[in-house]
Each structure stands twice: as C-alpha cells, then as structure tokens.
Amino acid sequence: MSRVLIVGAGLTGSLCACLLRREMQNKVQIVVWDKARGSGGRMSTSRPPDPSSHSADLGAQYITTTPAYAQSHHSFYSELLSSGVLQPLDCLVEGLKQRDGSRDYMTPLGMCSVVKHFLSESGADLFFEHHVTGLYRRGASWEVRRKAGGSETFDAVVLTMPVPQILQLQGDVGHNAPGRGPSLVVHTSVPFGLKHLEEDKEDVQPIILQELHKLLPGLPQPISIKCQKWRYSQVLTSVPDCPGQMTVLDCPPLVCGGDAFSHSNFDGCVESALSMLRVLKASL
C-alpha cells in the first residue's frame, strides 16, 4: 500500500484526497497535513469565541459555475447539493456581472463545509498544525520535514498550497447552523491590498473600519472583529503550460496542484484535483 501525503486541507487537497480514496480504495493510505489549526484554507469559515452566535466566510463567499462546468463537474455539484452543503443562491448579488447561463450557489454552513465534506469522505488521516518546511528525496520515497521538528517518509507527495509557499520549501522540491446572527465581511480592493500588504493588520484595520463607517454609518457595534490578511489570495495568471498540475518528479512522485495551475474558484480546484488524480493513478 502506498502512503500518500497531501499538503494542504483546502478545497484542492480535500477533493484530491476524496478522489484518491474513491478511485484507489485499498491501494493508498492518505495522510493530509495542514499548517493551520483547521481545514478550509482560502475557503475557511471563522467562528467567534461563542460559535453558536455567528460565523463569517473569510475567503470565498459563494460559488459560480458556467454551463460548461455545470455539465462536466455535474457529479460534484449534485453530491454537494443532495447532501445539503450547497444551495442555489437565488437572490441578486449586488454588482455581480451575471454571465449567460451561469449559476450561483451558497453554503448554509459556511464555505468550509464544502472542504469538510470532501475531507470526511476521504477517510484521510488528518493532522493540523503540521507545517511542512522541506522535502528531501530518499531513494523511492520522500522525507517530509516539519517546522516543529521531526520528519516522516511517504511514497508520494501532493502539494496544494499557493505557489509562492511551495517555492519557500527547502530540499529537493526542484528549483527544478441554526440560531446564528448576522456577520459582515468587508473585502478591500486588490490595489488597496497591495498598497498595505507589508503593514501590520492592527494599523490597517482602522482605515477599513473608517471607510466602512462612512458607507454604513448606522452599523451597530460588532461583537467581534477579525482582520484577515490574504498574502496569497487569488491567482491572476496561472502557471503556464501546466494545466491542472505540474509533475516535478515521476519517481518518487511529487506533484504540485491547486488553483495556481487552473483558476481561482471551485471549478478550478476540481480541475486540478482531477488532473493530479490522473498522474497519481498512472504512477502509483
């Protein structure tokens, strides 16, 4: 049985784990490591100290699919709809440019529930606060080192974090619910994000709050405020000539995937997970 490590418990990693389980049932032991304290990645849902009161999606807010993807990814959408994770979004999204035939979906329990659904289907051994710092080739396997110290070996490794974070890795990576109250998420523009990227969140939060107050002067005092800085948010240009994935090494397999190899949305992650599955099935 091959031991496969998937680094990243975001949508791409969790879907890849789920597909591996379904397609290679007894041939793989799937392990997922994420440096964060929970799953979701850029589809994370924040819960305040009292989780029964309200929640907020910090990254992705809703899912839009084109007619072509609605057809080719039909099984994923129908699975999520029938399990109640997704619901059609029937209201108008202010400012959204509606494209012909596109459909919008929302998540009653937060975007993170999409990721959690696939993780639970995968049956993977899931470890949080496992920050990968380096990958080293050891014959036919990979030694994977963690920030907290220690390492483990795997027969194949799948990296699903944003490319700038893949490039920070050391080693041989190859420089070759009910009763919830309302929450309000304020997204800044890309130029604003770039301008303030290196500043402390504590310094930027008041600027955002001041602007918000101008827009919504009657807004009640919030119970809690969380300022989230996405250093790596959405992909502007995908990695060229690597549709869905990049195979860094065939043996032992090292595959990079995620939205950087497709595009930054649900369907982009599905595309990447499917193409990594094809590579792993061929090589394991």
Question: By C-beta, is 2 or 45 nearer to ligand FAD?
Answer: 45
Provide, rounded to whole angstroms, the least separation between the CB of residue 218 and ligand FAD. Answer: 26
For the chain, the first-to-last Cα distance in angstroms comes to 9
Q: In the complex with ligand FAD, which residue's Cβ is closer, 28 or 114?
A: 114
- Specify which residues 53 forms β-bridges with: none
Residues found near ligand FAD in the complex (CB under 6 A): 7-13, 33-36, 41-43, 59-63, 131-132, 160-162, 165, 187, 230, 233-234, 258-259, 264-266, 268-269
- Residue 143 phi/psi, 5-degree rounding, is -95, 125
Q: Choose between 157 and 249: whose C-beta lies nearer to ligand FAD.
A: 157
Nearer to ligand FAD, 43 or 156 (CB): 43
Q: Tell me the closest approach of the beta carbon of residue 26 to ligand FAD, in angstroms.
A: 26
Dihedral, CA atoms, 6, 10, 14, 17, nearest 10 degrees?
A: -20
Q: How far is the CB of 10 from ligand FAD (least distance, A)?
A: 2
How many residues can be counted in the chain?
284
| Cβ-based nearer residue to ligand FAD, 180 or 229 | 229
**Cα–Cα distance for residue pair 122/111, rounded to 1 Å:** 18
Cβ-based neighbours of 69, under 8 Å, separated by 6 or more: 267, 270
CB of 15 to ligand FAD, least distance (A): 8
Shortest distance (Å) from residue 44 CB to ligand FAD = 7
Residue 267 near residue 102, CB atoms below 8 Å: no
Residues ≥6 apart with Cβ < 8 Å to 241 = none
To ligand FAD, the closest distance from the beta carbon of 13 in angstroms equals 5
Query: 144 CB contacts (<8 Å, ≥6 apart)?
Result: 5, 7, 33, 132, 134, 135, 136, 151, 152, 153, 154, 157
Nearer to ligand FAD, 42 or 54 (CB): 42
